Amino acid sequence: MHASLTAGLGLKPEHFDAALLCRAPGLWFEVHPENYLVDGGPRLRWLEAVRGSHAVSLHGVSLSLAGDEAPDAAHLQRFAALIKRIEPALVSEHLAWSAWGGQHYPDLLPFPRTTDALQRIVANIERTQAALGRSIAIENPSHYLHIEQHAWDEIDFLTELTRRTGCTLLLDVNNVHVSASNLGFSAEAYLDRFPASAVAEIHLAGHTPDPTLGGAMLIDSHDAPVAPVVWALYQRLVERIGVRPTLIERDGNVPAFEEILAERNLAAAVLQQGDATAEQVAA
Amino acid sequence: MNIAASSLGEFQQAFATALFDDGAQDASPIASLLRQPAFAIYRNTVRKACIDALEANYPAVARLVGSEWFRAAAAAHVAVTPPHDARLMHYGAGFAHFLAGFEPAASLTYLPDVARLDRFWTEAHIAADAEVLDGSALASLPPEQLGTRVLIPHPAARWAWFEEAPIHTIWRNNREADGDTGDLAWHAEGSLLTRPQDSVCWCELDRAELAFLDACAAGHPLADAAAAALSVQTDVDLSRLIAKLLRAGAFAGLR
């Protein structure tokens, strides 16, 4: 666990200069490694410059760990080289698939949580961790579909993955709210059951109602500020599990750096409060 | 309907097929998912991400034809050629070729070549790092040795000749923020893209410069490259030609 990391920000190229100069205590940055798996050029130099002054997290979106095939070996090799170069504080991926039969579908696609799927995903995580030379954190996805074939509860499934592979978990609180709203379960009950000791990182992001289906279907859109209901869930989570590196993700309608930093500072304040509570409990 | 019997792979095959096929599939192993309105979210997200990537990778083409036309053309390309690489900056390698055969673009004969230059920009942007050869390396050589040495193109250097239209000028005018939109002189021209420091740069090439670069890329020594330049333009000023290409950052070394 990285005790020195407080709240971080998803790093957008348009914020690069401001990010480099910002010295907020405990600030760190997260990027999608896919954008930096290049032979050379300015992207790697941007990332190395940021890494020179801040901790960096690599959050993969394309390993397709829940695909019924092994992760792309060439991609893993490039990912490993980037890790060696950047020495990230955290590395994470999703409980989802995005590739099949040599084609890529740039999204985080769902799958039936069966025991067969569990075995395949365990093998894929093990292969990934061996190639990268480190353990990774696995993120809970956003759900939109009712899948009848699920044989496993999601938290049990994630817990089993940590037990079998030594991976940790990335808990996306917005994804929990979106999924709970869309599928009709209690976000509070889900968060209260989530295995605290396995959580290496927390994500917070904004969501929006689906433009055609309306408020009955929330989209994990990352194009709006974190909603009050998600802040409340986050506070509840930190009170229970304690302080974890927490990321504000913003991929669309990206505001000025100062605006998104202010949102990040709200998360840092929740963590500071959580830290004070923990100290009181310990005393 | 026997969903439980379908394997993870069968599920993924059916799901992946349905992402680009809006037709009803009652016999599909994911029939119960296709009946849910939310399946459209995955269709929209995947297609939009692919189209967004093409629009980001082909900005001069998009500016020429407008976003609405571009996105319609991109959607047609995405449907037949989804990404084969997780790195979306690589997506669209075949887009210029697609545009050449895209019937609604038939009257825009210059469009595929403009797409080629957008692609060159991406390739130059992410190419391997290498020191740029500067003029002093050549100047320090005894003149009698010069002709036998080979100039090695920089990994980021890309160039092409366009016989039918001033593609370099059209592309530049639609790539630069304050690009000239005045009348075009309709002539053949060449284009060179390089990355001397971190930023991709470009300049127009004439036939002699292009012949010289082609000869260098083929591994021919400087004397042969010079002869190639002279063969297409008898009055070429070779020292000016070499100085221009060196200044642009076209070479990484000398062997």
Q: Where are the domains of chain B?
A: 3-119, 123-254
Report residue B142's pLDDT band, with 50, 70 and 90 as the boundaries.
Answer: confident
Q: Across residues B179-199, what is the average pLDDT?
A: 86
**Given this model, what pLDDT does residue B5 score?**
45
How sure is the predictor about A212, in pLDDT bands with cuts at 50, 70 and 90?
Answer: confident
What count of residues does chain B have? 255
Q: Which two tokens stand for residue B103?
A: 């019937």
Nearest CA to CA, how far is A136 from chain B (Å)? 19
Which among B20, B41, B46 is the top mutation candidate for probing chain A, defined by the most A β-carbons within 10 Å of its own β-carbon?
B41
Q: What is the pLDDT of residue B122?
A: 98
Closest Cα in chain B to A209: B41
pLDDT at residue B181, rounded to an integer: 66
Residues across chain A = 283
Chain B residue numbers touching A119 (CB-CB < 8 A): none
Per-residue pLDDT, B138: 82
Confidence tier at B2 by pLDDT (50, 70, 90): very low
Cβ under 8 Å to B: A residues 129-158: 144-149
* A41:B13 CB<8 A: no
Q: How far is B251 from chain A (nearest CA, A)?
A: 16
- Asked if residues A271 and A242 have their Cβ atoms less than 8 Å apart, the reply is no
**A93: closest CA of chain B, how far (Å):** 14
pLDDT of residue B185: 80
What pLDDT, in 10s, does the model give residues A8-61? Answer: 999 999 999 999 999 999 999 999 999 999 999 999 999 999 999 999 999 999
A45 touches chain B (CB under 8 A): yes
Distance of CA A164 to the CA centre of its chain: 20
Name which of A100, A145, A217 is nearest B12 (Cβ-Cβ).
A100
Contact A201, A244 (CB under 8 A): yes
| Cβ–Cβ pairs < 8 A, chains A and B | 122
Q: Are A234 and A204 in contact (CB under 8 A)?
A: yes
Residue B115, min C-alpha distance to chain A (Å)? 21
Asked if residue B173 lies in contact with residue B123, where contact means CB atoms within 8 angstroms, the answer is no
Q: pLDDT by residue (tens digit) across A130-159?
A: 999 999 999 999 999 999 999 999 999 999
Triad B35, B39, B43: Cα angle to 5°:
135
Q: What is the pLDDT of residue B28?
A: 80
What is the rounded CA–CA span in Å between residue A48 and residue A248?
Answer: 21
- Among the ranges given (A45-59, A87-101, A206-220, B196-210), the one the predictor scored with the smallest mean pLDDT: A206-220
Strand, coil or helix: A55: strand
User: Considering only alpha carbons, which residue of chain B is nearest residue A35?
Assistant: B87
Check residue A245 and report its DSSP letter. Answer: -
Nearest residue of B to residue A210 by CA position?
A: B41
Burial B185-222 (b: 16+ CB within 10 A, else e): eeeebbbbbbbbeeebebbebbbbbbbbbbbbeeebbb
Q: Where are the beta strands (DSSP E) in chain B?
A: 151-153, 158-162, 189-194, 201-205, 251-254
Average model confidence (pLDDT) for chain B?
Answer: 92
Q: Residue A189 pLDDT > 80, yes or no? A: yes
Q: What are the angstrom distances between the C-alpha of A180 and each of A68, A140, A175, A219, B131? A: 26, 12, 8, 12, 54
Contacts of A104 in chain B (CB under 8 A): 82-86
**pLDDT tops 50 at residue B156:** yes
* Predicted pLDDT at B195: 97
- Cα separation, A196 vs A268, in Å, equals 19
| Chain B residues whose beta carbon lies within 8 Å of the beta carbon of residue A35 | 87, 89
Q: Is the pLDDT of residue A190 over 90?
A: yes
Closest among A217, A203, A270, A223 to A243, alpha carbons compared: A270
DSSP reduced 3-state for B96: helix
Q: Is there a contact between A39 and B84 if contact means CB atoms under 8 Å apart? A: no
Q: Quick count: other Cβ atoms within 10 Å of Cβ A121?
A: 26
Kindly list the residues of chain B whose beta carbon comes within 8 Å of any beta carbon in chain A. Answer: 3-4, 6-9, 11-13, 15-16, 19, 32-33, 36-42, 45-46, 49-50, 53, 82-89, 125-130, 155-156, 195, 198-199
CA distance, residue A207 to nearest chain B CA (Å)? 14
For domain A7-282, the question of CATH label 3.20.20.150 is answered with: yes
Sequential DSSP letters for B129-153: P-PPP-HHHHHTS-HHHHTT--EEE
The ipTM of this complex is: 0.94
Q: A12, A107, A146: best mutation site toward chain B, by most B Cβ within 10 Å?
A: A107
Look at residue A283 in the predicted model and tell me its pLDDT: 66
Residue B6's pLDDT band, with cuts at 50, 70 and 90, is: low
Domain ranges of chain A: 7-282
User: So what's the pLDDT on residue B24?
Assistant: 62
Contact A174, A226 (CB under 8 A): yes
Q: Which residues of A touch B9 (CB under 8 A)?
A: 68-69
